[in-house]
């Protein structure tokens, strides 16, 4: 009997007849796979729902609008300072702009992270949410993702403004820059009109468009544009870690205490390199060892503030893409560890 005859004989077996033992095992395994896949999809749906609601609330916050206006004003201030510089005008604007993106991003992360969870508890809107079939850690992860989405929109739009300023200073026609921005606002208005129920989510493609358009406009100054783009990516990684830190403190404390503790940990994280390399002759061995332990126990946020030479590829043996990728993996590991800590604390919290 050939192979084709064997296959035909196998296909002609009566479906109601006896099956070999492995057939039942395969059926049970496939049912288990479907059940596991269904549970994963339901879990992702719950997390995505919380993230979408958290993003919607955060984007509508007035403090976010005020900080974005302040960031735009800072970009104008950077242009004025750069105009008075005797040389390296573009470098002054890009360096000040990169610093402002990081600073304002941290402020937004602390404010939103410290208040969003407390607002849900204070208004008692968290009780009907947790009464549904949703785990507390899923709720926290959704809150975290919604806040990071808000920060991504903020950072991308802010970077687009700075890249447009660089484009104007480097010789790009002002009318081209203005036309691109008018087109972006027209696109945003059209999306909000066509899909009014998702108007807050229209800011996500708009921010991506502004960032991409700013990159294209700033190609007249490629080094400074690259500095802003790489700094924005690193700033997003940094604020993700800061958001996770704020959620850890928000899971058991008040907004004021959460903000104070988060800012304090950010200061320590920005000084982690210095703490790990204190001179023994000045501070003594005991204090030096203690500072080194503290520096290793907190997220090292200084890796998100590399020197300008690294961001434009002047450091030999270090690629910009590789450095950004490693920094992103570092942020991902710390976010996972911090979210697990926040979930453990939040699960033990009694809301009565």
H, E, C per residue of 3-66: HHHHHHHHHCCCCCCCCCHHHHHHHHHHHHHHHHHHHHHHHHHHHHHHHHHHHHHHHCCHHHHH
Helix (H, G, I), strand (E, B) or coil at 143: helix
Quote the DSSP letter at residue 282: H
Position 27 scores a pLDDT of 62
CA–CA distance, 165 with 158 (Å, rounded to integer):
11
CB atoms within 10 A of CB 122: 12
Position 105 scores a pLDDT of 92
Position 18 scores a pLDDT of 54
Position 8 scores a pLDDT of 46
Task: Show the domain range for 343.
Answer: 62-347
Q: Is residue 54 part of a domain?
A: no
Q: Is residue 314 part of a domain?
A: yes
Q: Is residue 56 part of a domain?
A: no
Position 262 scores a pLDDT of 93
Q: Is residue 206 part of a domain?
A: yes
> Which residues lie closer than 8 Å to 77 by C-beta, 6 or more apart?
96
Q: Is residue 229 part of a domain?
A: yes
Position 9 scores a pLDDT of 41
For every one of its 352 residues, what pLDDT tens digit does the chain have, with 9 covering 90 and above?
444 444 444 444 444 445 555 555 556 567 777 777 788 888 888 889 889 988 988 888 888 888 888 888 888 888 888 777 767 788 888 888 899 999 999 999 999 888 888 888 777 777 787 778 888 888 999 999 999 999 999 999 999 999 999 998 888 889 999 999 999 999 999 988 888 778 888 899 999 999 999 999 999 999 999 999 999 999 999 999 999 999 999 988 888 999 999 999 999 999 888 888 888 887 788 888 888 888 888 999 999 999 888 888 888 788 889 999 999 999 999 999 999 999 999 888 776 5
Position 272 scores a pLDDT of 85
Q: Is residue 264 part of a domain?
A: yes
Q: Number of structural domains, the chain? A: 1
Q: Is residue 93 part of a domain?
A: yes
Nearest one of 209, 245, 202, 243 to 56, comparing CA atoms: 202
Q: Is residue 307 part of a domain?
A: yes
Position 86 scores a pLDDT of 66
CB atoms within 10 A of CB 280: 11
């Amino acid at each position: 009997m050939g192979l084709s005859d064997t296959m035909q004989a196998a296909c002609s077996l009566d479906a109601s007849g006896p099956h070999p033992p492995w057939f039942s095992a395969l059926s049970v395994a496939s049912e288990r796979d479907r059940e596991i896949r269904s549970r994963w999809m339901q879990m992702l749906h719950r997390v995505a729902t919380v993230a979408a609601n958290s993003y919607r609330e955060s984007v509508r916050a007035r403090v976010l609008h005020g900080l974005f206006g302040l960031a735009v004003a800072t970009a104008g201030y950077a242009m004025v300072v750069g105009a008075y510089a005797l040389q390296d005008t573009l470098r002054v604007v890009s360096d000040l702009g990169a610093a402002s993106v990081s600073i304002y991003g941290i402020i937004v992360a602390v404010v939103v992270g410290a208040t969003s969870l407390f607002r849900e508890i204070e208004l008692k809107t968290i009780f009907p949410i947790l009464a549904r079939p949703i785990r507390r850690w899923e709720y926290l992860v959704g809150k975290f993702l919604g806040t990071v989405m808000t920060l991504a929109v903020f950072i991308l739009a802010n970077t687009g403004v700075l890249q447009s300023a660089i484009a104007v200073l480097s010789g790009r026609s002002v009318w081209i820059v203005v036309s691109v921005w008018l087109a972006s606002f027209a696109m945003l208005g059209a999306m909000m009109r066509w899909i009014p129920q998702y108007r807050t989510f229209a800011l996500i493609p708009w921010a991506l468009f502004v960032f991409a358009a700013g990159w294209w406009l700033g190609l007249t100054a490629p080094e400074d544009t690259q500095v802003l783009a790489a700094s924005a990516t690193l700033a997003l990684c940094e604020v993700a870690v800061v958001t996770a830190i704020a959620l850890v403190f928000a899971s058991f404390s008040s907004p004021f205490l959460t903000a104070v503790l988060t800012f304090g940990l950010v200061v320590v994280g920005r000084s982690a390199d210095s703490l790990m390399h204190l001179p023994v002759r000045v501070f003594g061995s005991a204090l030096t060892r203690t500072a080194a332990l503290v520096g290793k126990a907190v997220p090292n946020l200084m890796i998100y503030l590399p020197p300008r030479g690294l961001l434009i590829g002047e450091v030999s043996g270090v690629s910009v893409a590789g450095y950004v990728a490693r920094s992103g993996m570092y942020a991902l590991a710390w976010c996972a560890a911090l979210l697990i800590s926040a979930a453990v604390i939040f699960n033990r919290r009694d809301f009565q």
